[in-house]
């Protein structure tokens, strides 16, 4: 990624994304950072600008695919006429983990799958026609997709795969009103995200690099902000002690690892799984060509009204 480029990023308001935003601008001080979020703390914007960074904030509610598509249009309207440099990187870092599998978005999709999978797809597909061949795309995933004790520490159930059409709707898991179902929806959505990264790597033009990034177990962030009071306390006050061991990663280190993945400090081929600071294999179940193809086709169909048409000369505009 050259320096005179725009970096578009979701999930920079808190946690590892906030650290990554700072490190991205430190590593590429002439880059322009576009933050897509429902809310971005003014303190973060002021901090980045005070350090000499160039920052634009675009409001985007990732639980609304219309909001995501409109935010992508705003990016295009800044980049296409040259008001901002070309897009050099897209960082899909935002994610949610809910306490149930019943919450629906305004579009009628299950909220975990909508934010962690569908929103990323709409954003990437709408910006695809405006990404140069050298662009780098990084999608934050999770090692909970392995589904074993080593990676989940017994706290998150492993993925429970179903057809995407089922996963995208509420009540896809047993006892959907409970927190176990909410966590299963989370790990399953991250497996789906890896499937799509593999499929993007095949379908995007030669030269693009798209990778999935696993920050590891990162206590101390706000990922569990919708959990019950005891779980929130444990994640914020007790679990951070695990960062003193190999079992967990501090938010600061995870943010630095994410920025390094975006900046290309970690050399990774397209389609790779970056485990913190190195390329590694994702779970055996994540390499399933049939599921990858089927996931792509289903996500394309579910989000079709928010995607550019093949014949659309201006793919930054929603089909209406």
Q: Which residues contact 87 (CB under 8 A, 6 or more apart)?
A: 5, 6, 7, 8, 75, 79, 127, 130, 131, 132, 135
Task: Report yes or no on 298 lying in a domain.
Answer: yes
The average pLDDT across 132-153 equals 91
Residue 318's pLDDT band (boundaries 50, 70, 90)? very low
Q: Which of 280, 240, 288 has the alpha carbon at shortest distance from 261?
A: 280
Q: Can you spell out the DSSP letters for 26-95? A: HHSTT-EEEEEES---HHHHHHHHHTT-EEEEEE--TT-HHHHHHHHHHHHHHHTTTSSPPEEEEEE---
Q: What's the CA gap between 304 and 312, in Å, rounded?
A: 13
Task: Report yes or no on 278 lying in a domain.
Answer: yes
Q: What's the CA gap between 56 and 72, in Å, rounded?
A: 13
Query: Contact, 69 vs 306, CB < 8 A?
Result: yes
Query: Contact, 192 vs 295, CB < 8 A?
Result: yes
31's tokens: 């880059």
Task: Report yes or no on 92 lying in a domain.
Answer: yes
Task: Report yes or no on 272 lying in a domain.
Answer: yes
Write down the pLDDT at residue 236: 52
Write down the pLDDT at residue 220: 59
Where in the sequence is the domain holding 84, given as residue range(s)? 5-96+111-148+186-216+251-306
pLDDT more than 90, % of the chain: 75
Task: Report yes or no on 71 lying in a domain.
Answer: yes
* CATH classification of the domain holding 36: 3.40.50.720
SS (H, E, C) 62-79: CCCHHHHHHHHHHHHHHH
Task: Report yes or no on 295 lying in a domain.
Answer: yes
Task: Report yes or no on 104 lying in a domain.
Answer: no
Residue 132's pLDDT band (boundaries 50, 70, 90)? very high
Q: Which of 182, 252, 167, 258 has the alpha carbon at shortest distance from 224?
A: 182
pLDDT for 268 beyond 70: yes
**What is the number of structural domains in the chain?**
1
Residue 313's pLDDT band (boundaries 50, 70, 90)? very low
Task: Report yes or no on 311 lying in a domain.
Answer: no
The average pLDDT across 160-181 equals 97
Write down the pLDDT at residue 105: 98
Query: Contact, 272 vs 37, CB < 8 A?
Result: no
Residue for token pair 């980045």: 48
Q: Can you spell out the DSSP letters for 250-295? A: -HHHHHHHHHHHHHT-S---TT-EEETTEEE---GGG--HHHHHHH
Model-level pTM? 0.88
Q: Which residues contact 171 (CB under 8 A, 6 or more apart)?
A: 101, 102
Q: What is the pLDDT of residues 15-63, one digit of tens each?
A: 899 999 999 999 998 899 999 999 999 999 999 999 888 999 999 999 9
Point out which residues pair with 212 in neighbouring strands.
Answer: 139, 273
pLDDT more than 70, % of the chain: 86
Mean pLDDT of the chain: 89
């Amino acid at each position: 990624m050259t320096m005179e480029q725009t970096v578009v990023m979701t999930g920079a308001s808190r946690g590892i994304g906030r650290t990554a935003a700072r490190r991205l601008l430190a590593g590429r001080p002439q880059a322009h950072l576009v933050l897509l979020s429902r809310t971005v703390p003014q303190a973060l914007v002021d901090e980045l600008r005070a350090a000499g960074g160039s920052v634009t904030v675009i409001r985007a509610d990732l639980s609304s695919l219309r909001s995501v598509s409109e935010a992508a249009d705003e990016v295009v309207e800044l980049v296409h006429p040259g008001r901002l440099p070309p897009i050099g990187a897209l960082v899909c870092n935002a994610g949610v983990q809910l306490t149930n599998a019943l919450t629906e978005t305004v579009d009628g999709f299950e909220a975990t799958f909508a934010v962690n999978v569908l929103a990323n797809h709409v954003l990437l597909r709408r910006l695809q026609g405006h990404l140069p061949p050298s662009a780098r795309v990084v999608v934050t995933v999770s090692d909970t997709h392995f589904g074993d004790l080593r990676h989940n520490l017994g706290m998150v159930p492993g993925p429970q795969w179903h057809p995407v059409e089922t996963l995208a709707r509420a009540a896809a898991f047993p006892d959907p009103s409970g927190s176990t179902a909410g966590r299963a929806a989370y790990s399953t959505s991250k497996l789906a995200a890896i499937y799509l990264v593999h499929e993007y790597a095949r379908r995007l033009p030669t030269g693009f690099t798209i990778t999935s990034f696993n920050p590891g177990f990162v206590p101390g962030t706000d990922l569990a902000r919708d959990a019950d009071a005891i779980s929130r306390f444990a994640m914020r006050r007790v679990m951070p002690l695990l960062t003193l061991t190999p079992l967990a990663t501090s938010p600061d280190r995870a943010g630095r690892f994410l920025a390094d993945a975006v900046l290309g400090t970690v050399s990774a081929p397209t389609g790779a799984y970056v485990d913190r600071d190195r390329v590694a294999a994702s779970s055996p179940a994540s390499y399933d060509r049939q599921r990858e193809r089927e996931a792509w086709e289903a996500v394309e169909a579910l989000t079709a009204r928010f995607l550019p048409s093949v014949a659309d000369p201006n793919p930054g505009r929603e089909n209406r």
